Amino acid sequence: MIAVSLDSPKAWAQFTSSIDGTVTDPSGAVVPGASVTITNEDTGISQTVQTSTAGYYRFPSLSASPYTVKVAVTGFKTKVLEHVRLQAAQTKTVNVALELGAAGAEQVTVTAEAPLVETAEGRVSGLIEENQVKDIPLIGRNFFNLVVLTPGVTGLASGGGNAYAQATGDIYNNEFGVNMHANGARTESNSFLVDSESVTSSQRNGVANVNPNTENVQEVRVSVNNFSAEYGRNAGALVNIITKSGTNDWHGSVGTYYSNDSLQEKNVFQSSIPNFKRTEYAWGLGGPIRKDHTFFFLSGDVLRSNVAFSKAASVLTPQFIQFMQQARPNNVSTYVAKTFPSIVVPDRSFQTAGQLLGAGCSGSES
């Protein structure tokens, strides 16, 4: 699995975080016409707006990154707020109170603090950050295992939903059903986004069609209720996966993950441990193409797996077959068990659809 992302200012529309706020003077009155500039501390890209007549400003469509907010207006000291951390799919309100003084000549710099409560939105949600994705052991390198850490969410998260045929412990499937329940809702009630674009299957609810590899995941926002109406397809959890992007600094990672049968334990139905060998190679690399303008991030996963499966199954004993013949003599299962005692149908008994329908359905034209 290889993922490639390219970032430039023109591609910011894919991000849905935002910063807004009100600028006031020492008396608490609003300040219209103030120049507000935000700078992405990772990429160096800046945007500037003017406050409205109500002293209000807003920067929509931002990526999840740390920002510096700078406010300047004649008659007041320039105020700078550093390290304003913006998370995935978050609206952060940054109100700025100015002090009297000469603009430009005097500057007040403040390090932003994280608010205890999110007040800009009424949703109930949890954030899975990059360090959790990297540091917490994951079954099958599947970051969906972390969504059950969100309050109100339960389940195994390693496979389920409507895609049972594709449900396994890892994410190497074109359709992945996530076994999770938000506030008691069914798995089919969940929706999935990657960079705020829907990747929920159009045919089966509760199934993700795109699963970024773990090295490409920056953070995951899990909303369990009261989220915006624009995401109202389903009533369960809304999982928004934010992928990494390049910055002005080069950064990357590489790792190998290995497991085999000597690290496993047999269950009560197994006489021996089945053969099992799994090796996964993962890497990620990001950096600038043109500093302060265009960036890239590459990541990849290579999986080598050798797995033997064991299953517990029922076997028809002679005593049970005799019971079937007595209790259900005309049943199809009784006929098969009596005609083929070994429960193995010989090849000579097979007939194709063409043989059953006759030569008239051979497909030839006359």
pLDDT tens, 29-72? 999 999 999 999 999 999 999 999 999 999 998 888 899 999 99
Predicted pLDDT at 359: 56
Residue 62 lies inside a defined structural domain of this protein: yes
Reported as a single tens digit per residue, the pLDDT across 64-113 is 889 999 999 998 999 999 999 888 778 899 999 999 887 666 677 777 65
> What are the C-alpha distances in Å from 320 to residues 327, 341, 344?
10, 12, 17
Reported as a single tens digit per residue, the pLDDT across 270-290 is 778 878 888 889 999 999 998
pLDDT surpassing 80 at residue 258: yes
- Residue in 183, 267, 197, 261 with CA at minimum distance from that of residue 225: 183
Strand ranges (DSSP E) for 139-272? 153-154, 176-177, 181-182, 191-194, 197-198, 207-208, 217-225, 238-243, 251-260
61 phi, psi to nearest 5 deg: 55, 55
**pLDDT top residue among 10 and 323:** 323
In the predicted model, what is the mean pLDDT of residues 129-146?
82
Predicted pLDDT at 236: 82
In the predicted model, what is the mean pLDDT of residues 229-250?
83
| Domain identity same for 154 and 283 | yes
pLDDT band at 10; cut points 50, 70, 90: very low
Reported as a single tens digit per residue, the pLDDT across 320-354 is 888 888 898 888 888 878 777 766 666 666 777 76
pLDDT surpassing 50 at residue 235: yes
Q: Please, what's the b/e burial string for 249-287 (b: 16 or more CB within 10 A of its CB; e: otherwise)?
A: eeeeeeeebeeebeeeeeeeeeeebeebebebebbbbbb
Predicted pLDDT at 304: 86
Predicted pLDDT at 112: 62
Residue 78 lies inside a defined structural domain of this protein: yes
| Domain identity same for 79 and 42 | yes
Predicted pLDDT at 345: 67
Predicted pLDDT at 123: 62
CATH of residue 205: 2.170.130.10
Predicted pLDDT at 37: 96
In the predicted model, what is the mean pLDDT of residues 181-206?
84
Predicted pLDDT at 26: 92
pLDDT surpassing 70 at residue 227: no
* Structure tokens that stand for 364 in this block: 């030839």
What domain range includes position 189?
Answer: 124-307
Predicted pLDDT at 195: 85
| Domain identity same for 153 and 40 | no
- Torsion angle (degrees, nearest 10) of CA 171, 174, 179, 183: 110
| Domain identity same for 101 and 159 | no
| Domain identity same for 149 and 89 | no
Residue 40 lies inside a defined structural domain of this protein: yes
Predicted pLDDT at 233: 73
Residue 26 lies inside a defined structural domain of this protein: yes
Predicted pLDDT at 172: 62
Predicted pLDDT at 12: 38
> Could you tell me what percent of the chain has a pLDDT over 70?
77
Q: How many domains does the chain have?
A: 3
Residue 146 lies inside a defined structural domain of this protein: yes
| Domain identity same for 282 and 217 | yes
| Domain identity same for 329 and 293 | no
Reported as a single tens digit per residue, the pLDDT across 147-171 is 888 888 888 766 544 444 344 445 5
Work out the mean pLDDT of the chain and round it to a whole number: 79
| Domain identity same for 178 and 281 | yes
